[in-house]
Structure 1
């Protein structure tokens, strides 16, 4: 994405006479979890395994069934620290719809 560094998605769209449909994410929330977003960017393959496990299992995943590399475990732990996943009835689950949005691609929007 050369030429877009330092710009927000909204400013890029405005420069192209376009706009977002629906509500954009909260800038402060994105700023607060920038370290998590960079962690995902740094090892997308590890994140992808974590994301797929979390989003493809509606009732969560039992910790003993999670077999991630060290970086995947670090990502999962960081997701927990940022309150995006939690333990519920013996399983690790995505905590809320905002977390699902972030895991499903919102992190990439925040990266931009």
Structure 2
């Protein structure tokens, strides 16, 4: 792997190449969390793709933390209620920003 927590962070070109290789594989998980945000999980990476930004974290170097959840009596996908989970993706790598995922649980 071109990127691990044991070595110095590589240039963005190496990271982009590794993500590109994994993204092209058929065995990735893709889901739209809302109309403009897509969450993609590859073998080693977690990507949050937005119209003008991409946030990503290496799975081996990160943890997912359920920061909050809220319940709503109406669901955007149909009758009944929905629960929204707010998940923080936090990296163990120093000087790396964490990011949040908002997931609908029905």
Which TM-score applies when normalising by structure 2? 0.26
Q: What is the TM-score of this pair, normalised by structure 1?
A: 0.26
Point out the structure with the larger strand share.
2
Structure with higher RCO (Cα < 8 A, 6+ apart): 1
